[in-house]
Amino acid sequence: MELADIGRISIALALGCTVYACVVNGMSISGNRTLLAISGRNGMVGAGVMTSLSVVVLVIAFITHDFSIQFVAEHSNKAMPIGLTIAALWGGQAGSLLLWAWILAVVSPIAVWRVRSSDSQLATNAAFVLTILLFFFLAVLIFVDSPFKQLMSPPSDGRGLNPLLWDIAMQIHPPMLTAGYVCFAIPFALSIAGLMTGRIDRDWVKLVRGWMLLAWALQAAGLLLGAWWAYRVLGWGGYWGWDPVENVALIPWLLATAYLHSAIVQERRGMLKLWNVSLAISAYLLAIFGTFIVRSGVLTSVHSFAVSDVGPIFFVFFGLLLICCISLIIIRLPVLRTNNQFESATSREAGFLINNLLLVSVAATTFWGTIFPMISEVIQGARIAVGAPFYDQVNGPLLLALIILIGIGIALSWRRTDSKQLLIRLMPAAAVALVTGSLLFLLGIRDGLACLAVSAVGFTAMSTLTNFIGAVINAKDTGNSPGIKTVFSVLSKNRRRYGGYVVHLAILMIAIAVIGTNMYKKESSVTLGPGQTTSVEGYVLRFDELRFSRANDVTAVDAVVRVVSQGDGIEIVPGKRVHDGWETQPTSWVGINTSVPSLTDLYLLLTGWEVNPQLITLRVIVNPLVGYLWLGGAMYFLGTLMVSWPESKSREP
Amino acid sequence: MIAFLRRATIFLVCFITLWSPMSLFADQTSGSTLNTEQRMWLLAEELACPVCDGQSIKDSNAELAQQMRALIVVLLDSGRNEKEVTDYLVLRYGEEILLDPPKSGFQLGVWIGPVLFILIGVGIVSSKLFSVRDSMDTSSESGSSE
């Protein structure tokens, strides 16, 4: 028996287990029989095991270079290093679908098992929904696009991986993003399950919140790694281009962010049930829709390296899910009625409501801009582009408002805030904003928008700090020992809240990077001979020599450039790489030099060269403050870790 | 009633303040003190490279993008303004190269969408926040709480 057969059989068995689990769980729901529910859960575990086996088989096929399997032959070759060979698993469509199914198959039983202890009925319903989702992916893997398809005459060596994917970020980014997409399935399943049982209560919100937090963090990791990859590999000096593929990954993240905030309102006040259910459901539906867009080729994008015929199937799946969800929500509307109402427009819950308005507006704008070219093609038959200028103009102000709102929201109390008190609380923040704005103006920054945006960041940072300092002072007043110990005790007593603050500060850092790169990015193009120096964008550059080399089927050309304006000269080596078999797709080897502490990048790209006499053309890009994006990204995960660290049982969450 | 009006005004003022930066964006592109290359890069940002999957000709290093950038420099040097250059390129490569959709014709739809959405959202949110609580003093405000 060949590897491919084992792989196919294990997927088929996984599908069998899934169908069994689905049927048994369904019967258990209608008959409310516990034994059946247990058997259904075991079926899910079986599906998880069998899917894992098929992944192992594919990995073995990659490592042993089994080129009789088409997917292996198309995405790897013998010369590739081992890490990359394994990462080639998600270098193509069938493999990334397998990855998707595998994560879903493994996460689902864990989720069901964890939910079971608090609400067994909910767990059974969720298991039913999850098995339907898993069934879809396994069926696609068997009937439409199998990673185990065999070749009649296996080639002696494989085609190799797309050179653009030869990067460390590409070994982590796709699994992260896939895991994020997949984990949105759990809140989705719990929402449907909750609608079925009719209990959308505080416990439900807490359960969903945990899984939403996980999906949200994974999605953010995927997005940030993707940005990092684009920045270093695609060679256009940017990290985010409002590209359709990026957009569809951002939308679920935005909705999850909205949910994480509005869920707090439901936990505290029992409001917004209908809204929260809709958010959890939409996040997953849009993840599916995103996959449809990426895979179907209806939109062109720099990221959609895997285009095929599974698009329409995803679209049908998406449509069916959408219809089911809407009908279920309409049927269950009475359950979603709220018993409380908003008491004041200056309350914490009102702040969350406006936060949701802004986040969902950004998501809706992004969605609209992404699908508009399709609408245009259908209605007027002409392809049009909706690019970064559109998103900058519409989403820019919304995101700015959101940043200011973070600062105001933190100062609001639940139910009702006395407006005088609110003003007093926000006084220090307003002062900082004013000082920041005028300081920037004095420093010669005449761009009103830049001043406003940075002031907004200062405002919110100060508001966050004041709030935290206030909590520390309060703790001291109630008899705690002063000093650093109090700070830590305040932090650990309400990890969820202050973890959120850390995430907010991380977002502010990212905002600083976005402001810097969006408004003050400079670029130009220079041509240099050996030994020539040029002054460009505040740097003095000298071109030393061109180096040619060849190793591991890769031909490389590197230009040695020195920044002579900074001390003894830092060497930057931008270059180009041509991989054998991919001659039409040379990849850029970007030269980056980050100056500390402004974290401003000098970004060099070799766009052309001549050998005799030596002459190079460089694209010189200065990206101010871009390093804060990566720093903010790291801080984001620190905050997320704080938020999700398990609280000890005795404490109020 | 007065309390409501005051809050509504604050809300409105905040909103307008936050949206006014849009006009700042519009001003930036028409700089006359810039040199030709700088003007070219600003223009290049708004034009898609026809062969490279939605990247702008500023970001793309494809041959066609480089040619288009060179063409823009030539056209600008010959005394044409930004609009004339854009029109020329649209004539040559089609409307699909406009990354910044014109606020007219069919493309106006892409701009109206978010405005409509935000207006609806603001309507729902303000009805939630204002009508119920102020039911005694806002008889003029009609909004359902659902």
The answer to whether residues B77 and B123 belong to one domain is: no
The answer to whether residues B92 and B82 belong to one domain is: yes
On whether residue B144 sits in a domain, the answer given is yes
Q: Which residues of A touch B122 (CB under 8 A)?
A: 357
Say how many residues make up chain A.
653
Condensed to tens digits (0 to 9), the pLDDT of residues A276-303 reads 999 999 999 999 888 777 766 555 554 5
Q: Which residues of B touch A343 (CB under 8 A)?
A: 133
Interface test with B, best of A251, A304, A347, A357 (most B CBs within 10 A): A357
Say how many residues make up chain B.
146
pLDDT value at position B5?
58
What DSSP string describes A152-184?
SS--SS-----GGG-SHHHHHHHHHHHHHHHHT
What DSSP string describes A383-452?
-----HHHHHHHHHHHHHHHHHHHHHHHTPPSS---HHHHHHHHHHHHHHHHHHHHHHHHTT---HHHHH
pTM of the model: 0.89
User: Between chains, do A368 and B114 touch, taking CB under 8 Å as contact?
Assistant: yes
User: Between chains, do B121 and A357 touch, taking CB under 8 Å as contact?
Assistant: yes
Interface test with A, best of B111, B120, B135 (most A CBs within 10 A): B111
Q: In chain B, whose CA is at the least distance from the CA of A347?
A: B129
Share of chain A above pLDDT 90, in %: 49
The answer to whether residues B65 and B85 belong to one domain is: yes
On whether residue B20 sits in a domain, the answer given is no
**N-to-C CA span, chain B:** 22
Q: In chain B, whose CA is at the least distance from the CA of A523?
A: B41
Residue A160 one-letter amino acid: G
Q: Which residues of A touch B109 (CB under 8 A)?
A: 372, 375
Please say if the pLDDT value at position A623 is more than 90.
Answer: yes
Per-residue pLDDT of chain B (146 residues; tens, 9 = 90+): 556 556 656 655 655 554 444 444 444 444 456 788 888 888 888 888 887 777 888 888 788 888 898 899 999 988 888 889 998 988 888 888 888 888 888 889 999 999 999 999 999 888 888 765 444 443 333 333 33
Interchain contact A372–B (C-beta under 8 A): yes
| ipTM summary value | 0.83
Query: Residue A384: which of A508, A300, A275, A463 has the closest Cα?
Result: A300
Interchain contact A302–B (C-beta under 8 A): yes
On whether residue B125 sits in a domain, the answer given is yes
Which range of A52-61, A147-156, A594-603 scores highest in mean pLDDT? It is A52-61
β A539-551/A615-623 pair status: unpaired
> What band does A564 get if pLDDT is binned at 50, 70 and 90?
confident
The answer to whether residues B117 and B135 belong to one domain is: yes
The answer to whether residues B75 and B111 belong to one domain is: no
Mind telling me how many Å the CA of A380 is from chain B's nearest CA? 8
Domain holding B45: CATH number? 1.10.8.640
The answer to whether residues B55 and B92 belong to one domain is: yes
pLDDT value at position B142?
37
Interchain contact A380–B (C-beta under 8 A): yes
Q: In whole angstroms, give the CA distance from residue A538 to residue B68.
A: 27
On whether residue B91 sits in a domain, the answer given is yes
On whether residue B86 sits in a domain, the answer given is yes
Where are the domain boundaries for CATH 1.20.120 in chain A? 1-161
Average pLDDT over every residue of A55-63: 95
Tokens representing A204 are: 């439900």
Interchain contact A537–B (C-beta under 8 A): no
Q: Is the dihedral of CA B65, B68, B73, B74 positive or negative?
A: positive
The answer to whether residues B111 and B143 belong to one domain is: yes
pLDDT value at position B14?
57
Considering only the beta carbons, identify the residue of B60, B99, B128 that sits closest to A353.
Answer: B128
Please say if the pLDDT value at position A218 is more than 60.
Answer: yes
Give A 339-368 residues with CB within 8 A of chain B.
341-346, 350, 353-354, 357, 360-361, 364-365, 368
pLDDT value at position A252?
96
Q: Residues with Cβ < 8 Å from A193, sequence gap 6 or more?
A: A122, A123, A124, A125, A126, A128, A129
Condensed to tens digits (0 to 9), the pLDDT of residues A546-558 reads 999 988 788 899 9
User: Between chains, do B55 and A236 touch, taking CB under 8 Å as contact?
Assistant: yes
Give A 395-454 residues with CB within 8 A of chain B.
396-398, 400-401, 404, 447-449, 452
Please say if the pLDDT value at position A410 is more than 60.
Answer: yes
Considering only the beta carbons, identify the residue of A301, A387, A390 that sits closest to B56.
Answer: A387
Of A578 and A345, the structure prediction assigns the larger pLDDT to A578
Mind telling me how many Å the CA of A3 is from chain B's nearest CA? 37
Q: Which residues of B touch A452 (CB under 8 A)?
A: 21
Considering only the beta carbons, identify the residue of B60, B110, B132 that sits closest to A390.
Answer: B110
The answer to whether residues B55 and B83 belong to one domain is: yes
Q: In chain B, whose CA is at the least distance from the CA of A451?
A: B21
| Under 8 Å between Cβ of A467 and A410 | yes
Domain A1-161 has CATH 1.20.120: yes
Q: Is A551 in a helix, a strand, or coil?
A: strand
**Residue B118's domain spans which residues?**
102-146
Interface test with A, best of B15, B59, B66, B116 (most A CBs within 10 A): B59
Mind telling me how many Å the CA of A231 is from chain B's nearest CA? 11
On whether residue B124 sits in a domain, the answer given is yes
Condensed to tens digits (0 to 9), the pLDDT of residues A300-322 reads 554 554 455 677 788 888 899 99
Our count of domains for chain B comes to 2
Interface test with B, best of A251, A254, A342, A370 (most B CBs within 10 A): A342
Range of weakest confidence among A59-63, A73-77, A108-112: A73-77
| Under 8 Å between Cβ of A120 and A41 | no
Q: Which residues of B touch A619 (CB under 8 A)?
A: 61
The long-range contacts involving A555-564, CB below 8 angstroms and separated by at least 24 positions, are A555/A580, A556/A589, A557/A606, A557/A609, A558/A589, A558/A606, A559/A606, A559/A609, A559/A616, A559/A618, A561/A591, A561/A604, A561/A618, A563/A539, A563/A593, A563/A602, A564/A533, A564/A540
Interchain contact A390–B (C-beta under 8 A): yes
Interface test with B, best of A251, A362, A368, A420 (most B CBs within 10 A): A368
Considering only the beta carbons, identify the residue of B54, B114, B129 that sits closest to A385.
Answer: B54
The answer to whether residues B130 and B95 belong to one domain is: no
Q: In whole angstroms, give the CA distance from residue A205 to residue A118.
A: 12
What mean pLDDT value characterizes chain A?
88
Please say if the pLDDT value at position A382 is more than 70.
Answer: yes
Q: In whole angstroms, give the CA distance from residue A382 to residue A364.
A: 23
User: Between chains, do B25 and A396 touch, taking CB under 8 Å as contact?
Assistant: yes
Range of weakest confidence among A33-42, A99-108, A400-409, A509-518: A33-42
pLDDT value at position A297?
59
Average pLDDT over every residue of A315-336: 90
Q: Which residues of B touch A396 (CB under 8 A)?
A: 21-22, 25
The answer to whether residues B96 and B128 belong to one domain is: no
Considering only the beta carbons, identify the residue of B25, B41, B48 that sits closest to A393.
Answer: B25
pLDDT value at position A504?
96
Please say if the pLDDT value at position A650 is more than 60.
Answer: no
Of A384 and A102, the structure prediction assigns the larger pLDDT to A102
pLDDT value at position B95?
82
User: Between chains, do A342 and B129 touch, taking CB under 8 Å as contact?
Assistant: yes
Average pLDDT over every residue of A160-179: 85
Q: In whole angstroms, give the CA distance from residue A187 to residue A111.
A: 10
Mind telling me how many Å the CA of B139 is from chain A's nearest CA? 17
Condensed to tens digits (0 to 9), the pLDDT of residues A241-287 reads 898 888 999 999 999 999 999 999 998 888 889 999 999 999 999 99
Residue B125 one-letter amino acid: V
Q: In whole angstroms, give the CA distance from residue A176 to residue A166.
A: 17
Mind telling me how many Å the CA of B129 is from chain A's nearest CA? 5
Tokens representing A57 are: 């088989």
Mind telling me how many Å the CA of B117 is from chain A's nearest CA? 7
Mind telling me how many Å the CA of B84 is from chain A's nearest CA? 19
- CA distances to A52, A184, A287, A512, B60 from A131, in Å: 16, 15, 18, 43, 44
User: Between chains, do A400 and B21 touch, taking CB under 8 Å as contact?
Assistant: yes
Mind telling me how many Å the CA of A356 is from chain B's nearest CA? 10
Q: Which residues of A touch B121 (CB under 8 A)?
A: 357, 360-361
The answer to whether residues B74 and B109 belong to one domain is: no
pLDDT value at position A179?
94
User: Between chains, do B118 and A361 touch, taking CB under 8 Å as contact?
Assistant: yes
On whether residue B141 sits in a domain, the answer given is yes
The answer to whether residues B62 and B82 belong to one domain is: yes
Query: Residue A252: which of A223, A295, A273 has the closest Cα?
Result: A223
| Under 8 Å between Cβ of A566 and A580 | no
Q: In whole angstroms, give the CA distance from residue B121 to residue A97.
A: 36
